[in-house]
């Protein structure tokens, strides 16, 4: 009889409990696909008494997660604690040092320490797997690392945070303001009590840095991701974008060329005929432009017990089959240390929203600043009241360096005609 694959799980929250439930409910199918039984033999969680609705009979409880790395019955350690530092990082280091294959859903830890963990895993000949760290149940990690391995990838664009997508698509459908929809998202459990990690773009930046590493063969550099969240997006922006033939989505975008590695997370205007425009609710989607295959798209639930547990168990099945390889598609020594690209050199169209005083000469002042900085205006609309007071003026530009728009707005920064700072959103090409 084939030897079972025994696992230890650290963290029995929504995802951890989901993994146990999935292994129990689909035990026969998982065994057939893995070629051996996969069973939970040890767990670590803060509260032993909590009823999680799962069967943990026969599993040993250990008080400290790090103990799983040295548990004699554990073949594979699964980390579902979260956080870039603390117990999660300690468990990762201890597991690899003890030559235990390590599976994680922790994008924050990988964004901060992925290169060091990969080096250690390579040196110890230990598998490090993380399909669940980006986009939940979407097989985008495997798709980039294996399915598209022969392709030259030119760009990645993705909706990487379900909370932000729920908020923006709900604002679009209902016309409601950001604060109102955020409160609803918190009530429904899509957003945390402190939603900063999601709505300020940090979560999406972690995920984008991992995808960029896999796509371009570059080292993870999360600190270089230009990150802007969705707090400043108003209902008037949603309405104006729609009138112009766009919707607004928080987009993570990465590209690598002679100018360096470009990585940015920010709200963007997305043409209504673009695949990402049709992604609504708490859904993730990633489009990959590759040569020779063309454009690939991955779409589906990006979070929650079922999708994330599905990705964790997929990694377990790979390990049971003996599938392994460099964590980031090639040895860390072969990954390029890419210089960050100058975001101001990025060629794009832009949407600019102004709130201005209703007086003669304001439009002339705005257009003069754009002329002086070589920004070509495509449309200029004055319509209705701006959020916070003043008159709403909306502009779209022709293609040009994003730095030129930034210089024009800096020139207008001291203008008494502006009642609040302008909002600039790139237009997805």
Report DSSP letters for 117-154, one per residue.
HHHHHHHHT--EE-GGGSSTT-THHHIIIIITTTSEEE
Catalytic residue among 89, 107, 142, 207: 207
C-alpha span between 93 and 419 (Å, rounded): 52
The answer to whether 158 and 286 have CB atoms below 8 angstroms apart is yes
Bond into 29 cis (ω within 30): no
Could you please report the per-residue DSSP string of 225-287? Answer: -EE--STT--HHHHHHHHHTTEEEEEEEEEEEETTEEEEEEEEEEEETTSGGGG--SSEEEEE
Helix (H/G/I), strand (E/B), else coil: 416: coil
Contact between residue 386 and residue 392 where contact means Cβ atoms under 8 Å apart: yes
**Structure token pair of residue 263:** 């990585």
Asked if residues 160 and 302 have their Cβ atoms less than 8 Å apart, the reply is yes
SS3 assignment, position 350: strand
Whether 359 sits among the annotated catalytic residues: the reply is no
Cα torsion at 340, 421, 401, 365 (round to 10°)? Answer: -160
Distances (CA, A) of 215 to 283, 301, 336: 22, 21, 12
Alpha-carbon distance of 27 to 429, in angstroms, equals 45
In DSSP notation, 13-64 reads SHHHHHHHHHHHHTHHHHHHHHTS-EEEEEEE-S-SS---SS--TTPEE-SS
Helices first, then strands: H and E counts in the chain: 13, 17
- Extract long-range pairs of 375-379: CB within 8 Å, 24+ residues apart: 375/400, 375/404, 375/405, 375/408, 376/400, 378/349, 379/244
Q: Which residue in the block uniquely carries the two structure tokens 């790090």? A: 66
Catalytic annotation, residues:
207
């Amino acid at each position: 009889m084939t030897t079972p694959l025994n696992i230890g799980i650290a963290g029995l929250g929504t995802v951890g409990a989901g993994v146990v439930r999935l292994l129990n409910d689909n035990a026969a199918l998982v065994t057939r696909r893995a070629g051996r039984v996969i069973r939970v033999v040890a767990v670590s969680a803060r509260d032993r008494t909590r009823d999680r609705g799962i069967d943990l009979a026969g599993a040993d409880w250990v008080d400290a997660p790090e103990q799983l790395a040295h548990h004699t019955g554990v073949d594979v350690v699964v980390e579902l604690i979260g956080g870039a530092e603390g117990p999660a990082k300690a468990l990762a280091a201890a597991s690899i040092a003890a030559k235990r294959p390590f599976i994680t859903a922790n994008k924050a830890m990988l964004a901060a320490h992925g290169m060091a963990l990969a080096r250690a895993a390579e040196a110890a000949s230990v598998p490090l797997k993380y399909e669940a760290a980006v986009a939940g149940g979407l097989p985008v990690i495997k798709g980039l690392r294996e399915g598209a391995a022969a392709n030259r990838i030119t760009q990645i664009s993705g909706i990487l945070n379900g909370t932000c997508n729920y908020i923006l698509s709900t604002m679009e459908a209902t016309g409601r303001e950001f604060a109102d929809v955020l409160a609803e998202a918190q009530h429904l459990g899509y957003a945390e009590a402190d939603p900063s990690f999601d709505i300020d773009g940090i979560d999406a930046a972690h995920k984008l840095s991992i995808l960029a590493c896999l796509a371009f063969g570059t080292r993870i550099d999360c600190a270089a991701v230009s990150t802007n969240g969705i707090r400043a997006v108003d209902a008037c922006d949603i309405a104006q974008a729609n009138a112009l033939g766009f919707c607004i989505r928080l987009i993570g975008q990465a590209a690598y060329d002679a100018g360096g590695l470009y990585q940015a997370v920010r709200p963007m205007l997305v043409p209504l005929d673009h695949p990402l425009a049709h992604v609504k609710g708490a859904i993730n989607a990633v489009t990959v432009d590759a040569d020779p295959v063309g454009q690939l798209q991955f779409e589906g639930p990006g979070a929650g017990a079922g999708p994330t547990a599905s990705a964790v168990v997929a990694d377990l099945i790979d390990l049971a089959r003996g599938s392994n390889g460099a964590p980031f598609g090639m040895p860390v020594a072969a990954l390029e240390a890419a210089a960050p690209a100058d975001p101001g050199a990025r060629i794009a169209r832009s949407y600019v929203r102004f709130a201005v005083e209703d007086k003669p000469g304001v439009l002339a002042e705005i257009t003069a600043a754009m002329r002086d900085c070589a920004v070509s205006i495509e449309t200029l609309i004055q319509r209705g009241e701006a959020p916070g007071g003043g008159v709403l003026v909306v502009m779209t530009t022709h293609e040009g360096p994003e730095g030129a728009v930034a210089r024009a707005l800096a020139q207008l920064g001291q203008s008494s005609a502006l009642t609040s700072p302008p909002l600039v959103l790139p237009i997805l090409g």
